[in-house]
Structure formats: C-alpha cells, structure tokens
Structure 1
Amino acid sequence: MAQEVSTPPTSPAPGEGLPHRSVLVAIGALLLGMLLAALDQTIVSTALPTIVSELGGMEHLSWVVTAYLLASTAATPLWGKLGDQYGRKKLFQAAIVLFLIGSALCGIAQDMPQLIAFRAVQGLGGGGLMVLSMAIVGDIVPPRERGRYQGLFGAVFGATSILGPLLGGLFTQHLSWRWVFYINLPVGVVALFVIAAVLHIPVRATRHTIDYLGTFLIASVATCLVLVASLGGTTWEWGSWQIIGLAVLGAVLLVWFLRVERRAAEPVLPLKLFRIRTFTLVSVISFVVGFAMFGAMTYLPTFLQVVRGVSPTMSGVHMLPMVLGMLLTSTASGQIVSRTGRWKVFPVAGTAITALGLVLLHRMKESSSDAEMSVYFFVFGAGLGLVMQVLVLVVQNAVAYEDLGVATSGATFFRSIGASFGVAIFGTVFTSRLTSKLEAALAGQEVPPGASADRIAADPRAITDLPPALRPDVLHAYATSITDVFLYAAPVVLVAFLLAWVLKEDRLRGSVTAPDTSQTLASNPVERSSYEECARALSVLGSREGRKAVYERITERAGLDLLPAASWLLLRVRRHGAVEPARLADTTPVPIRAVTEAARQLEERRLVRRVGLQLVLTDEGVTVATRLAHAREESLAELLGDWWGPQRPTDLVQLVEQLTAELCGSSRERPRTAEPRRNHVAHTR
C-alpha cells in the first residue's frame, strides 16, 4: 500500500494565492498591451495613401511597415530572455513606455524619414509587448487554465486583423492619419497603471546567456538585404556602388552571424535546426507566406483608395473578406489537423490557392465590381490561412523537445523576415513601374503646370488637378502598376507550392495541437520556452477534461470497475482531502444525479467514508485513487510521444505531474470547512 508522505515546501505554483479577480484584471491589462502591438501591424495600412499624400515619398512607403516589422522581430528574443533574468513586470512596463514614446513621435512626424525612424522605435516596444504578455500568462495562470486564457490572446489577434484596417480608415477620414498613432496613448497609459496596481508576479529568475551579438547581426543582415530590395532600381541603380556595397556588407555580416551562432551558448537561431529537412522547408515556405501576405495587405489599400476612389474607411471594409478568409481557413485547418493527424494537404492546397489568389488580384481593373473584388480577396486570404496554422504544427512535430520553443518562434521569424522583404520588393516593383507608366500616359498631353509624373507618383491627390480626359489613363497606370506586382509574386508562391510537396508527412505527436491565432496571424515571433509550449499544448488537451470518455479510458487503464463519474469524484477527494458532493455539483458541470450515484458507489466499495457532509478517503481509497492518478499521468505522458523517453527532461516530468494534480480538481471545489490535505499524495516515482 502506498504511504502518505509530506512534500517539502516549494515556490508557489503559477496562479497560486492570487485572487481570481486580480488574475482577470491583470489578464485584461495584458490584453490591452497585446492589442496595441497587434493593432499597429494592420491599422497603418489603410492610412498609408493619405500619409504619402501629406508627407510625400511614395518610394519610401514600404518602409513605414518594414521598419516596424524589422525592429519588432529583432527585439523579440531579447525581451524574452531579459524578462527571464530581470523580471517580466518591469520589462513589460518598459516595453509599454517605449511603444508609447514611439507612437507619440510617429504622430508628430513631419516627413517620411522621421516617420520611418519613429516606427522602428515603436517596433522595438511592440516586440516586447508581444513576447512578454504571453510569457506573463504563464506566471499568473496554472497550466490547466493556460489554454483558455491564451485563446483570448488569439481572439485579440483575430479582432485586430479585422479592426485594424477599419479603425485606420475611420481615423484617417474623420480625424487625421496622426490619430492612428495617438490612439495608442490613452490605451497604453491605462494598461501601464493597471499593470502597476494589480500584477504581482512571483520571482522566478532564470539565468540566460543572451546572444546580443547574434541578435544584432541577424537584424543587420535582414536590414541590408531589405535595403537592397527596396532601394535598388529606384533610389539607386542596381549596379551602383551603394547597392553593391549594401549587398557585400550583408554577405559579410551573414558569414559573421554564422560563425557567432556556432559558438553561442544560447544562439538566437540555432544552426542545428537547419539539419532537419522539415524545419528548413517550413522556414522557406513561411518566408514566402509572409512575403505574399504583408506585401498584398500594404498595397491593396492604395489600389482601393487611389484607383477605385473609395474612402479610407471603406477600403478597410473592402479588405474584410481577405481577413475573414484567413481566419476561417486558419482555424478550420488547425482543428482538422489536430483531430486527424493528417496535415500535408493543407500547405499544398494553401500555397496553390494563394498563388491563384494573386493571379485573381492581378485581374482587378478600375471597373471591377465590389462583389468581384471581394471574391478575389477571400480566395487570397483563404489560401494564406490554410498554410499558416499548419506550418507551426509541422515544425513542432519535427524537432526534439529541447528545441521546441525556438523552432516554434523560428517559423514565425522567417515569416516576419519574408513580410519585410515582401513589402519592400512589392514597393520597389510598384514604384519603378508607376513612374514609367505615368510618363507614358502623360506623354504628348497638355497637363497643368507642376503635374508631372514624379509629382503624381509622390502625391496621388494631384490626380484631381488633371483634366478629366487625362484621369482615366493616369488611374489605369496606377491600377496596372499595383496589380502587376501581384502577378510577379505568384511565381514566388509557386516555389513554396513545389516545396510543400517535398514535406514528409510524419505522424503527429498527441501533444501537437492547433496553436492559438497569435502564433499564426502575428508577424513577429513570440518566443516561448519548450516548457511553456508543452504547457500550452497539454492544457488545450486537458481543458477537454470532464468528458465521460476521458474517465472511462483512465479507469480502464487503472484496471478498475468503477463508473466514470466515480473515478472523477475519487480523484477530487484525493486532490482536496475532503469533498462535499453537493458543493462539487454546484462548482462543476457534472449533474447532481451523477455525483450522487458516484458517491454511493464509492461508499459501497468502501473507498470513501462520510465525515459530516464530506467524503474522505479510506486506506483502500488512497490506493485506488493513486492508481487512477498514475493512469491520468500516463495518458498525458503518452501524448508527448518520443519526448517522453528514458532521458526526459526534469521540467517535462514536473509539468506532467503538475497537470495531473490540477486536472484532478480545481481550487473552486475546496470544501467550506475542512482544509484540503495538499500533501496527501502517494509517490511511486
């Protein structure tokens, strides 16, 4: 018979000792922080045509988006590890302050170079908001509840994807494009004060060797290459010494980065991951998905506002079918894969449909109807959504446990870099074609003084100064310059389609579940440890607890002849030491009749006895409950597949044990009068 032992005191578990109301308020503040960072990835797009008209610099339009993406991507791993070392609360507050400073500066920018520089400052803060808000959830919420709360963050991303273009259009049309940035200030101040007042995080410092040099070098390489892509052929000729110098500098920095990463104790991007064929292929496909997604989202508002003449607000409405297509297929594909274990069809179909969507976008004309464009937008978004969820699943399934966290963020990292390249290259092609087509449209025509091709390209509002007879040709030049870009992007996506066929469809581990939307719609990687990623996945599976089939399975596994509800009740008595059946029925979704029948069976089998209104375990009940708990633990461990090998990491063992304990009952079920016997645990490990 197992003996009762007392466990030594340990540091408080996540969420232990925190009032439920305080947790909810803190989660609300974290959601506000996440909302700020997520919104600024999409809210700017519909304001860009107006920004360019006021500040000039159409050739630099792409950098308003690219500067934010590059800065937030580079900052993400630093924020994550600094938070581990110095405490996430102070770092999160610092990220909010930095983000707000960047927002205020963007709002007062007087020219395009200033705006681009201030967007980079904003991106540095945004990277911290993304990674730290997700990590703090792990500090204040038990693993069992983590899946539910992280689902809220996914919902925020889904909402901002829709609200961003709409709000950007509303502010631009009815206030000023500067309010796209000013709106962050009141929201950020509220989040700052709430975090200061209610967020109390237990100190769990984790020492890391931060790869500062590697982070700087990878950001520098990306910046050099994006500069080549965006400035080549427009600002400078492709053969100019500036472009050649940038390309050579990027190559030198890349070689230096590879040397540094081989020696780094904790590399920002472990090179050993590229020995895994699946990771390498997924990285390339992720790059292409980001390339197509953000490139199109940046230039579609220009088509709608300049060519179709719709308001900034309505341009956001027109883009809703694309976002809805992404959300629908992303959610559906993730759920189907998690249930069936088959995934290869989705990246293949997704890249094919995305390429088809780009071809359809190329077909848009000045005369295209709203219904026709909505169909094109939906097809394009649906294709992207089919790919995004699945790529994260595939990477998680392909790597060892110790690389789970960095591989997960690595897949998003390459999509973020791809987004930067997509915006830059789309911008380069658009700008170079626009100027030449405008010159052809105006050649030999009588135009008002100052209405040159360069001025019209820099400020779309100049089109209204043209004679009515000239406007159709100028609008056609704008339309074809934008839609040609989509055609040129289609072959790039077809490369990803071919690579998707080469992916090997390995069997999914049971713990690989559909990630939350923040991992698939976010442009910058949210760095998580392997422990945190496993906790999220197992919590999603554990949140299905309470289903009859689960307790039938563990009862059979333990070799017992009990009602599923009786096994459920016995584990809760073991968890709390004493349980009042009527109170249990009030605090759980199990009907009172099922609880009563379960209690009667346990009493008849002499596994529990009554002490007043409460049930407590008998000696035989302790033994049976321990067998059930181990069956529950083994069923969780099975989900981990080969990660649960003979050399399984200690933190993974602790996670399974903690989840097993939590899934046997929650704190809300504790008896009113008797103290729960927390240490009434039989250890056989």
Structure 2
Amino acid sequence: MASKTNIQTTNQITGKQKGWALATVLMTMFFASMNQTVVSTAIPTIISDLEGFELYSWIFSAFMITSAISVPIYGKLSDVYGRRPFYIFGLLVFAIGSVLSGFSQSIEWLIIARAIQGIGAGAMMSMPRATIGDIFNPKERGRWMGVIGAVFGVSSILGPTIGGWITENIGWEWVFFVNLPFAVLALIGVFYALPKVKTEQRTKVDWIGSILLTIGLLPIMFGFTWAGDKYAWSDWQTITLFGSGLIVLVFFMLYERKRKDPVIEVSFFQNKLFAITLILAVFVTMAMFGALMFLPLYIQGVLGMSVQNSGLVMAPMMISFIAGSVIAGQYMTRTGKYKMIAHISAVFMVVGLILFSLVDVDTTYPTVILDMVILGIGIGSLMPIFNVSVQNIFPYKQMGSVNATQQFVRSLGGVIAAPIFGSLLNSGFSDKMKETMPSELANLQQSAGTELANMNPQALLTQEAQQGLQEAFAKMGDKGIELFEQFLHAVKVSLSSGIHSLFIVGLGFAILTLIGTFFMPEHDLQGDEYYEKEADGKA
C-alpha cells in the first residue's frame, strides 16, 4: 500500500504502489473528462440564458488557451519536483474556477471563470499522461490503453446524461458545482498514492517565455474569431491582429532557444516522429472539434431533441472511442508496432467525417448514431498511438516535458479550431438566414421589437426561448403562428447549413491526417529496458 510519506528521487512507481497510483490517475482522468462533457451539453442552454451566442466559442477558447499555456510549465517542473504538488495545485484552482463559473451572471463572467478553470485543467491534462509513463513501460502502455479509454468513454457517456438531467431539473449552474466532490476525491487519492520526489536538481519557471507565448496567441485568436464576421479577412484590423501575434511568437521562439529551462523544449521538434505526430495530433483535433463542440447544438437546434437526450446521443461515439482505443492498444502491445493501425484508424476518421458532411435538416437520429460510431473508432484508435510512439523514443527523465509539449501543441489545435469554427458557424448561419428568410418575415424583422430583431439560433435552444418568440409572433394577429413556423424552419435550415460547413473543414483535416500517417517513422516499442537505460545513465 502506498504511503503519503513515501519520498523518492524519481517519479517512477513500482510494486504495490502501481495499483494505487493507477487508480488515482484514472479517477483524475474520469473527473477531467466528465467535466468537459457535462458542461458541453449545458452550453446551449447557458448561452440562451446569458444571451451570448456571438461569444459561444469563447467559452471553450478561454478554457483551452489558459490550459494550453500552463501545460508545459506543469510538465517541466513535474520532471524535477514530482507530479504530486502539481496535481494538488491544479485540482484546487480548477475547483475555484468551477465555483466562479456556477455563479456567473453574464457571458463575460463565465468566460473569465472558464479561463481560471483552464489554469487548473492544465495539470489534469498533463499529469495523468506522465504518471502512466511512471507506472508502465512503453510496450505495456498499449495493453492499458483500453482501460484508460474506457474511463474516458464511460465519463463521456455519463457526463452528457448527468449534464442534461442537471440542466433540465436543477439548473445549469450545478453542472459546475458538481465538480467539487470529484475534486475532493481526486485530492485524497493524490495525497495517498503519489510519491514525494526529493532531488538536488533545481529549475526555474520561464515566466517571460510564458508571457510572450500568451501575448502572441491572444491576437491570433481574436483574428480567427473576428475574421469573416466582424471584419473581412483583408481588413487592416484582421491583418494587424495576425501580424502582431506572429511577430511576438517569432520573438518567443528566438528567446526560447537561449533559455536553459525554456517553457517549450525546441529541441524536441528536431525529432522526426515527434514533429510528425504533433502535426497529425493537431489535424485530428481540428477534424473532431466540429463534431464534439457543435454536435449538441445540431442535435438540440436542428433535430429538436431535449438537452438530456442530446447528451445521450453522444454515447455511441464514446463507446466506439473505447473500442478503437482497445483495438489499437492490444495491437501495439502484441506487435510492438503502430504504423499500420494508424493508417486504418485514419481511414475510419475520414469515412466518419464524409458521412457527417452529408447531414442536413432532414437527417434522422439513427444516421447520426452510425456516423458517430465510425468517427469514434477512428479518433479513439489514433490518439493513443501518438502518445505511446513518442514516449517510447525519449528518455524517461524527460517524460513530463515530452507529454506536456505534446499536450500543449494539441491544445493549440483546439485553441485555433474554436474561434475558426465559431466564426464559420456564425457567418454560415447569417448568410443562409438571409436566403431562407421569407420576405414578409424579413420586413417584420426591421420593424418588430427586440424579440424579433435579434434572431439567432438561441431561438431553438430552450422551450422557454421558443415560447417567448411564439408569444411575440402571436401579437401580430392571425398570421402570427404561421410566420412563427416559417421562422423556426428558416433557423433550422440556416443552423444546419452553418454546421455542415464545419464538417467539410473537419473532413479536410482528416484527409491530411491519413496522408500524414504514411510519413511516420516506426520504432519498436521498448519494454523494461526503457527504465533500465535511465538507471544506467544511458538515456
């Protein structure tokens, strides 16, 4: 049994302590992944309540950019000082952010609270992956990918169901408050199971590099959010945002090369497998982002399902995600290879997104389920391949930094995808709405009150919002109900059109992923010699 007073000189976990440490990691992963799915199901209701459709993507972006920036710091420091203190810090900060999110009174408040959550989530994203490396050698990790995938899948199935039930029966605020008991359980596990690490080595946090990275990313995010919507791509405002961000990021890279303890290890990118898998991981993130981020909006807004049912409909994708993870993990453990399964997984992802690109306002429930199963198998198989193959080729002493850099770059894919897809959805919805809106409704939109002047997909997200709009239309006389039905149909068609464009973009990235898998070098996965090299000083 692990002891909370256990002190070691490395992060490696052996003997009976393995079981307790693995349980703690799985608990933390369950907590982190369930949080995302609980919140994602409630987001449409939240933006309807707080009236923030135009800032929809920022609820995700704020969380992702702060978590992305904090991940490399956690990873580098955990290699020296151990994983334990950063688990604790991350869980506490995440809990604080959850409380602030639950008390949000405006969309701007919620975005700030989500940013705080992201700082804590950075630890929960990087620490579990590194700890798995502390417990199992690269070849063993394949066998355990099924268990890890199952935890993610089960939490992703329960999360939407719990999130939908909470949203409909208690209130969306509680999708954030429900995080608190899980945070307490995870903290107990960390205190009890993970070892303290005592070392003479010291490292400094690269605060200047972190600040430069933040300053560089923010204007680029604003650029992707506003380009094509608030500003044209060729407007000076858009060019200035992208240009200033890129200039700062160039300074960041030059500064990092001279640092002894950089926030991002530039030398990692010189390894061919590391560089290629990072690019592919970004492509996968971009490809799946439209499905995971906007599919609940499609299910509620276009198919007309309730909040709780739209969460349940994501279950087939999560189950197939588990299946893909198990298949890929078993293949890697038995063969010590990973390239062939990467090709097959990418094909599944391409086919899944081809099918998703065909959905429209008339798509049926069973069709959506089939599409999700195929896409889930592809994504579920690919993600563990990228992790295991890269961990296998770097020394154990760099495990935290390698995992953190992987997670950081992958998170950047989400940081970039969120505003791009949000902008595509907004512009696609607006353009199609102009085409499908009956002329009589368009004229009314100019002269009617606030309820009709601000038409957007929020009109479909809750029964309360629809009822308010229906009452506004009823004031117009006998034609009111007929006009209301015409309006709802126009919004559904327009929302479906906007989401369709997201799947087309995702398909492009899926095809790039398939092509990229053919350029991956293949190295035999190591067994216990992975740790023996470290002990012998050969790594």
TM value normalised by structure 1: 0.66
Q: Tell me which of 380, 389, 393 is aligned to 1:394.
A: 389
Output the amino acid matched with 2:524. R
- After superposition, the C-alpha distances for 1:273-322 in whole angstroms (9 at most, x for unaligned) are 33333322222111010112233201000000111111111111111122
The SS at the match of 1:363 is coil
Output the amino acid matched with 1:71. T
Work out whether 1:223 is the aligned partner of 2:231: no
Output the amino acid matched with 1:158. G
Work out whether 1:260 is the aligned partner of 2:275: no
Output the amino acid matched with 1:225. I
Work out whether 1:385 is the aligned partner of 2:402: no
User: When the two structures are aligned, how many residues end up with a matched partner?
Assistant: 509
- Whole-angstrom distance in 1 between the partners of 2:408 and 2:64: 10
1:426-437, aligned counterparts within 5 Å?
A: 426-437=421-432
CA contact (8 A) 2:154 2:318 kept: no
The SS at the match of 1:234 is coil
| Partner in structure 2 of residue 40 of structure 1 | 35
Work out whether 1:492 is the aligned partner of 2:517: no
Work out whether 1:475 is the aligned partner of 2:470: no
- Whole-angstrom distance in 2 between the partners of 1:242 and 1:74: 25
Q: Percent identity?
A: 28
Output the amino acid matched with 1:326. F
Work out whether 1:173 is the aligned partner of 2:168: yes
Deviation at 1:81, TM superposition (A): 4.0
Q: Tell me which of 280, 295, 301 is aligned to 2:296.
A: 301
1:238-637, aligned counterparts within 5 Å?
A: 238-397=233-392, 406-446=401-441, 447=444, 449-452=449-452, 454-460=454-460, 461=462, 462-463=465-466, 465=469, 467-504=484-521, 506=522, 508-511=523-526, 538=527, 636-637=528-529
- Whole-angstrom distance in 1 between the partners of 2:172 and 2:275: 40
Change (3 A) 1:219 1:398: farther
- Whole-angstrom distance in 2 between the partners of 1:387 and 1:24: 26
- Whole-angstrom distance in 2 between the partners of 1:472 and 1:457: 11
Change (3 A) 1:216 1:155: farther
CA contact (8 A) 1:307 1:475 kept: yes
Output the amino acid matched with 1:244. I
Q: Tell me which of 232, 235, 259 is aligned to 1:237.
A: 232
CA contact (8 A) 1:292 1:419 kept: no
- After superposition, the C-alpha distances for 1:199-220 in whole angstroms (9 at most, x for unaligned) are 6844413422333333333344
Change (3 A) 1:249 1:376: same
The SS at the match of 2:456 is helix
Output the amino acid matched with 1:456. N
Structure 1: runs of 5 or more not aligned:
1-9, 512-537, 539-635, 656-685
Output the amino acid matched with 1:171. I
Deviation at 1:24, TM superposition (A): 7.1
The SS at the match of 2:305 is coil
Change (3 A) 1:126 1:510: closer
Output the amino acid matched with 1:483. H
Deviation at 1:482, TM superposition (A): 1.0
Output the amino acid matched with 1:487. I
Change (3 A) 1:342 1:60: same
- Whole-angstrom distance in 2 between the partners of 1:281 and 1:150: 21
Change (3 A) 1:264 1:483: same
Deviation at 1:120, TM superposition (A): 0.8
Change (3 A) 1:79 1:281: closer
- Whole-angstrom distance in 2 between the partners of 1:142 and 1:338: 12
Work out whether 1:54 is the aligned partner of 2:49: yes
Deviation at 1:72, TM superposition (A): 1.4
The SS at the match of 2:439 is coil
Output the amino acid matched with 1:35. F
The SS at the match of 1:502 is coil
Q: Taking CA–CA contacts closer than 8 Å with sequence separation of 6 or more, which of the two structures ends up with the larger relative contact order?
A: 2
Deviation at 1:176, TM superposition (A): 1.2
Change (3 A) 1:388 1:132: closer
Work out whether 1:103 is the aligned partner of 2:98: yes
Change (3 A) 1:138 1:278: closer
- After superposition, the C-alpha distances for 1:67-120 in whole angstroms (9 at most, x for unaligned) are 212211211232344456666555433322211110011011111111111101
Moved more, 453-462 or 485-494: 453-462
Deviation at 1:652, TM superposition (A): 5.6
- Whole-angstrom distance in 2 between the partners of 1:454 and 1:32: 44
1:157-196, aligned counterparts within 5 Å?
A: 157-192=152-187
Change (3 A) 1:156 1:330: closer
- Whole-angstrom distance in 2 between the partners of 1:87 and 1:281: 29
- Whole-angstrom distance in 2 between the partners of 1:200 and 1:493: 38
Deviation at 1:243, TM superposition (A): 2.3
The SS at the match of 1:96 is helix
Change (3 A) 1:44 1:85: same
Q: Tell me which of 183, 193, 204 is aligned to 2:198.
A: 204
CA contact (8 A) 1:37 1:126 kept: yes
The SS at the match of 1:233 is coil
CA contact (8 A) 2:42 2:307 kept: yes
Deviation at 1:17, TM superposition (A): 13
Change (3 A) 1:298 1:12: closer
CA contact (8 A) 1:456 1:463 kept: no
Q: Tell me which of 107, 115, 125 is aligned to 1:120.
A: 115
Q: Which has the higher helix share?
A: 2
Output the amino acid matched with 2:456. I
- Whole-angstrom distance in 1 between the partners of 2:144 and 2:509: 37
Deviation at 1:121, TM superposition (A): 0.2
CA contact (8 A) 2:78 2:400 kept: no
TM value normalised by structure 2: 0.83
CA contact (8 A) 2:71 2:404 kept: no
Deviation at 1:359, TM superposition (A): 2.2
- Whole-angstrom distance in 1 between the partners of 2:486 and 2:290: 32
The SS at the match of 1:44 is helix
CA contact (8 A) 2:289 2:506 kept: no
Deviation at 1:346, TM superposition (A): 3.0
- Whole-angstrom distance in 1 between the partners of 2:350 and 2:243: 32
CA contact (8 A) 1:439 1:453 kept: no
The SS at the match of 1:43 is helix
Deviation at 1:416, TM superposition (A): 1.6
Deviation at 1:50, TM superposition (A): 0.6
Output the amino acid matched with 1:222. L
- Whole-angstrom distance in 2 between the partners of 1:16 and 1:331: 25
- Whole-angstrom distance in 2 between the partners of 1:121 and 1:214: 20
- Whole-angstrom distance in 2 between the partners of 1:88 and 1:278: 26
- Whole-angstrom distance in 2 between the partners of 1:113 and 1:57: 9
